[in-house]
Every structure is written in structure tokens, then in C-alpha cells.
A and B are shown apart, each in its own frame.
Chain A
């Protein structure tokens, strides 16, 4: 079947299999930041933004993305690098495997929530599993990043 999807600002039209998930389609288009982790819709590693909202690309059929706009880490390199530096400062990036999905969800949270509390941050990011950090370094990194963004704005 034929679909037209905008990926990181560029429009693509392709013939795809009806049962292809968005993750495989995006990787086919060279977006290798999008990875398969748990394959049970639980780990958040495959997170991309669909029309600005974070979704699990391992569970979302590519056919349903027809006519929509998808953003991957490749399309947000500047912001990802900025937050990545805060993550590295806190030792929040260890094996690094979960980072692409985690960063995509942090960037979605920054767009959606205004001045979130610690509980709101934890709740928003609870769908991103990390088996290295225990989440404390990541939480510090997110808080520092949010404080920095506020400082820059004011």
C-alpha cells in the first residue's frame, strides 16, 4: 500500500507492507536512532514524535502514519545534543542504549508540560526503562536542563 509521511520535515511516498510497523519504516529511511528494545510496548526505546506527540514506533503501524508528520532524534539534533550534555554531566548516560528514546520523551515533555514538579517528571518519563542508572542521575539531568531552559528564557 502507498503512504505519504513527513519524516523530519521531508516528505516521503512509499509502497509498504500492510503489517509494517513505523519503527521498521523509519529505519528503512535511515533513521537508525529508532531502535527496538523490549518488543512488548514497554521500554520506550523506540519513542518518536507523531504530530508532536510521543508514541511507540514499535507498536504503531506505518500505514496509520499516512498523512502525518514524524520526528526522530535525527530531526532534533541540536536539542538532543544540548540535553545530552546535561545527561553526560550527571553520568546519566551509561551504556547509552536507552538514550534515544529517553531523550525523545524528555523533549516531548519539555514541549507539553510547563514547569513540571519532580513527581510530574517521573510520571511522564516512567515509560522509559533504563537498566544502568537507577534513574537518579537522569532525574538530576532533567531538572538541571529545565532550570537552564528557564534561565535562558528569562
Chain B
């Protein structure tokens, strides 16, 4: 468990940003992962007074605050209406209801965990993060950026008719995934995102396959193009082979209209 000398509930985003510039200070999201480290912080910065715990919808987009919990994503009827079961599928395996009532969307994305179900699925949607200093950045770009001292305030997801499907492979229920794969389609373009490689998720784009042969070719390209690695949960070779399988399943559910 970490230690801290001070706790500040930020009154403005600017205050949170300024406090976060000091190396010994840190923003607390849900705190579930952070508590596992033993760092000695000077100041903990709490964003919970900034109204960032809301899921808002306009005709063009969803705006999700960084302090929205994973449980809110899981149970939101508005997100379900727009994206089917996608948000339920990416959250329901994560530890348990109590954990998901604590862990936040912002905490998950800022950490850019390699194993993140959230990052994989959101990268398949048309998604931008709103940072206090850098402004709007596409999630795909954000996923490649190194950690810095900016503050993630909101997540914007375009509502444009994109359909998405999600698949994950786990050794047991509620465990961290061995591999994740999301696929989405808009205007004939297929986006495939592979995560838990075990490195951070990456995205690829293809023309949407109309035939079985074209789909097989896409799965082969995913296996060949994406870089995989080994860890305790699975070998590089296993992940590579399974990436093709999960990609096929995700694209098939898009085709059959049973997508998330």
C-alpha cells in the first residue's frame, strides 16, 4: 500500500493539472490498482468533486467522465441502447461488482494496461480522450503515448452507427484476459483491435470481408502483423494462434448481426 502526506479534492480541472505536475503527486482514480504499489506520495489528487462521474449523451456523441465507474458502464441503459451488450461484455469479467463500483474509466485508460478489456473495446469505437492540457486526442494515439502528467478528464465516443463486437479469452472467470479482440464496422471498413498481447492494444483496418476466404485472409494477416509476447498466462505462439480465432468470432458476430 502507498503512503501519502496530503489529500486534495481538486476544485477545478486546472488545479488538478497543476498539482499533477509534481512528480511526487498522483491522481487517485478508483485506487484499486494504485493500492498495490508502495510509493510514497506527497499529495493525492481526487477528481471526484468535478462532476466527472456522469454519462452524458448528445445526438452526436457520448461524453463519459473520467470518474465514471466500470459498474456504471456495465449497467448504463443508454450505452446499451447505442452499443448493444458491448459495455456489459467488457466489464462483467472484471473481478466483481464491488471492484467495479470502485474502479474508474479514467483510471483504466490512463494506466493503459496491456490486459485492458476497456482499452481494447473503446479503441474499436470512434473514441477520443479529453486531456486537461493537450485537449482532444484519439484513443488510438493516446494508447501509444508514454505516461505523462496530463489529466484525463473525459472520453468522447461518436454515435455514428458503428457496430462493434468483443471477444476475450480467459483461463478462468474474473481473471485477467489472456487475449482480447474487438471488431467494428462502419461504411464497409472493418477495424480489428487486439489487446492483452500482453502489451497494449493495437488497431488494424481492412475492407469488410464479404466472403469466408476474405475473412480467413484477414485473420491470417492479424496473426502475422500483430506482435505478440509471452507471459505467465500464455505463450507468444498461443496468443498468435488464438488472435485469428477471436478475430473470426468477432467478425462473424458482426456479420450475423449478433454483435455487441
Which A residues contact B (CB, under 8 angstroms)? 1, 18-19, 21, 39-42, 44, 47, 50, 53-56, 58-61, 63-64, 105, 108-109, 123-128
Asked if B98 contacts A61 (CB within 8 A), the reply is no
Asked if B229 is at the interface (CB within 8 A of a chain A CB), the reply is no
The list of the 3 closest CB pairs from A to B, nearest first, reads: A127-B96, A18-B7, A19-B4
With known contacts A59-B31, A61-B28, A64-B46, A127–B4 Cβ distance under 8 A: no
Cα–Cα, bound, A55→B71 (Å): 11
Partner of B98, one of A21, A47, A63, A123: A47
* Further 18 A-B residue pairs, CB within 8 A, beyond A21-B1, A21-B35, A127-B98: A19-B1, A39-B1, A41-B102, A50-B101, A54-B98, A55-B98, A55-B101, A58-B35, A59-B32, A59-B99, A61-B31, A63-B46, A64-B48, A105-B96, A105-B97, A126-B95, A127-B95, A127-B174
Asked if A42 contacts B95 (CB within 8 A), the reply is yes
Asked if B57 is at the interface (CB within 8 A of a chain A CB), the reply is no
With known contacts A18-B44, A40-B36, A55-B102, A60–B31 Cβ distance under 8 A: yes
B152 to chain A, nearest CB (A): 18
Partner of B30, one of A1, A44, A59: A59
B77 to chain A, nearest CB (A): 14
A50 to chain B, nearest CB (A): 8
List the B side residues contacting A1 at CB < 8 Å. Answer: 7
List the B side residues contacting A125 at CB < 8 Å. Answer: 96
Cα–Cα, bound, A42→B48 (Å): 23
Cα–Cα, bound, A35→B96 (Å): 17
Asked if A41 contacts B101 (CB within 8 A), the reply is no
**Closest residue of chain B to A62, judged by CB?**
B7
Asked if B2 contacts A19 (CB within 8 A), the reply is yes
Asked if B200 is at the interface (CB within 8 A of a chain A CB), the reply is no
Partner of A41, one of B5, B7, B35, B41: B35
- Interface positions of B from 15 to 45, Cβ below 8 Å from A: 28, 30-33, 35-36, 41, 44
The 0/1 profile, CB within 8 Å of A marked 1, for residues 81-94 of chain B is 00000000000100
The 0/1 profile, CB within 8 Å of A marked 1, for residues 210-230 of chain B is 000000000000000000000
A129 to chain B, nearest CB (A): 9
A19 to chain B, nearest CB (A): 4
Cα–Cα, bound, A109→B101 (Å): 13
Asked if B12 is at the interface (CB within 8 A of a chain A CB), the reply is no
Asked if B97 contacts A54 (CB within 8 A), the reply is yes
Chain A CB count within 10 A is highest, among B5, B9, B96, B102, for B96
List the A side residues contacting B92 at CB < 8 Å. Answer: 123
A135 to chain B, nearest CB (A): 11
Asked if B173 is at the interface (CB within 8 A of a chain A CB), the reply is yes
Asked if B6 is at the interface (CB within 8 A of a chain A CB), the reply is yes
Cα–Cα, bound, A59→B173 (Å): 21
Cα–Cα, bound, A98→B71 (Å): 23
With known contacts A126-B173, A127-B174, A56–B98 Cβ distance under 8 A: yes
